[in-house]
Chain A
Amino acid sequence: MLTLLPVPGFAQSSGASIEVVEKQLKAKLSDDAKKLLSTSLAGLNQVSAARQRFALPENSEPATIFRAVPARKLT
């Protein structure tokens, strides 16, 4: 789910435990937010599972945080 453009699909299923979030965070959420939190956490797990299906080469390294734009020869 993209952050700045709404894309459906994040909240497809629940199942992840709300217990993984700290108590103080849970305590202040409304009932609606708690329900959505469950689905959001499930979404995180889905994303994690999806990315694990795309294996990266073992020698690959993270992009430099402020230099993700490629230095590429211009034509």
Chain B
Amino acid sequence: MSPFASIRELADAIRWKKVSSVELTTMFVKRLESLGKSHRAVAEMTEEHAMEQARQADNSPARTMLHGIPFGVKDLLATKGIPTRWGSPGHADQVFDYDATAVRRLYEHGGVLVAKLEMIELAGGGNYNVANASRMGPCASAWDRKRWAGGSSSGSGAATALGCVPYSLGSETSGSITCPSAFNGCTGFRPTYGRVSRHGAMALCWTMDKIGPICRSAEDCAIVLEAIAGQDSADPSTLAQRLDLRPRGRRPRIGLLKERFRENNAADCEKAYQDALDVLRKMGYETVEVAYPALPYGLAVEIIVNAEGASAHENFIRSERLTMLADVNQVAGFAASLETKATDYLWALRFRNEALKANAIWDQCDCIFTPVFYHAAVAIDKPFDQTFRNMGGDGGPANLLGWPAIAFPIGFEDGAPLGGQIIAPAYREDVCLRVARDFQFETDFHLRRPAEAKLDRWSTT
């Protein structure tokens, strides 16, 4: 069985007894132990736990698409009896006695947890500036070990792209699913705020944190998102409205922002973006130029994340353990964030209501297509204040207003993947999925694999 098989292929193989869950688990455990760990994508192996789940799956009828299929989760999600360290050297002994709701829902679908995946410490709270801001060291991109895997869901992106897990869960407050998806050539789905329960997830920012799948196709993302979405009495922010990913109505009209390829010396990205648009237009998608109202979205995000992060982690910040963080920028940033003014935070929450004006953009289009970044993954060994200068990135209101987005590969730059993203109005994950799935039906960027991950020595069955 190929380690890059889709969820549907794996489900069929299990249903027709062509492969057992134990065999799949054995294969992915070996790949994680070797390839995954060598990229520093693994926080904790859960082999014993996984083999027990796999045996149970093999001894029971396949009830769902995810039955018996291994997966990994960002180490920000609580797993009963298994260390959950939040990527932080200051939380090395942390073990919860319950499972995060998203993890529990995957268990209920017959999923097999094979690993906790590495992440940027405390999901980047306090503002990190180096790839080394992680308990296990800098996580390398699946495509090039000299490049960073992105963050903060670093291991989820790298391990999924490397075929170390069929799929994984990540989380995003502001870019932490889309960034590692782009840097590793994955397809990652950031759902609407409240779509997936945050219960059992480390809080960085209560009003912006989202849990979502990182997979190798839009189709796989849909399967995983359907499994983990839904209201949860343990998380008052979860939406009552049921997730409906079925395509509805006419083809969505795609909005195009004013991009700055030339200013950022991004010729390869410009070509990939234009080629992607050509593909979509040939399929019948209409495009229209749009612009967000010029408002200080990023400023509000910064204040909210700093304030809520400082409050969520105040005990840790005031403890001796703060200095154990790997990135001194975060040590200082967390310490400073305790000084965030209440008037600044309340301004940001009031601004959030003003920012709702940006919803007017949906009168002109049904979704927005924009590069995740203007370049492929940055160097792993240089500070980000040097490497991110020409990267661009969505500076709009999407995360502030809880809009969903799906990131997926649209081309390459110097052999490393470039990511595009479809952003849609709140509650309209179906629009994201429809466009990305159509694009992947016509292209093969999502089917290309890192050369290293295809080597025979990693394949075990």
Contact = CB atoms under 8 A, between A and B. Distances in A.
Interface string A18-56: 001100110011101111110111011001101110101
Interface string B293-323: 0011011111101100100000001101011
A37 B332 contact: yes
A21 B344 contact: no
Nearest to B148: A6
Contact of A60 (B152, B173, B354): B354
A28 to B, nearest CB: 6
Nearest to B346: A62
Contact of A44 (B322, B329, B340): B340
Given A44-B340, A62-B349, A6 B335 contact: no
Contact of B350 (A34, A47, A62): A62
B192 A4 contact: no
Contacts of A29: 323, 331-332, 335
Contacts of A72: 359, 362, 425-426
Contact of A28 (B174, B236, B322, B393): B322
A2 B332 contact: no
A48 B344 contact: yes
B128 A6 contact: yes
B397 to A, nearest CB: 11
B120 to A, nearest CB: 8
B460 to A, nearest CB: 35
A18 B331 CA distance: 14
B426 A70 contact: yes
B428 to A, nearest CB: 7
Given A8-B385, A36-B329, A44-B340, A66 B299 contact: no
A2 B301 contact: yes
Given A2-B174, A62-B350, A65-B206, A40 B333 contact: yes
A56 B356 CA distance: 13
Given A6-B388, A70-B401, A62 B352 contact: yes
Interface residues of B, number: 82
Contacts of B328: 30, 32-33, 36
B306 A60 contact: no
B347 interface: yes
Interface in B223-258: 236-237, 239
Given A21-B338, A30-B328, A50-B296, A3 B302 contact: yes
Nearest to A56: B350
B207 interface: yes
B302 A40 contact: no
Residue among B208, B329, B428 having the largest count of chain A Cβ atoms under 10 Å? B329
A56 B236 CA distance: 28
Contacts of B388: 5-8
B165 interface: no
A3 B426 contact: no
A3 B309 contact: yes
A56 B353 CA distance: 10
B339 interface: yes
A24 to B, nearest CB: 8
Interface string B186-209: 000000111000000000111110
Contacts of B426: 69-70, 72
A21 B336 CA distance: 7
B378 to A, nearest CB: 9
A26 to B, nearest CB: 8
A43 B207 CA distance: 23
B341 A48 contact: yes
B296 to A, nearest CB: 5
Residue among B128, B239, B336 having the largest count of chain A Cβ atoms under 10 Å? B336
B354 A56 contact: yes
A61 B353 CA distance: 7
3 closest A-B pairs by beta carbon, nearest first, are: A6-B384, A36-B332, A62-B349
21 contacts: A2-B174, A4-B174, A5-B393, A7-B384, A7-B388, A8-B386, A24-B318, A33-B323, A35-B332, A37-B332, A37-B335, A47-B299, A51-B344, A54-B295, A56-B347, A62-B349, A63-B349, A63-B353, A66-B206, A68-B207, A75-B366
Given A4-B152, A41-B336, A69-B426, 6 more contacts: A2-B298, A2-B305, A5-B174, A5-B176, A6-B124, A6-B385
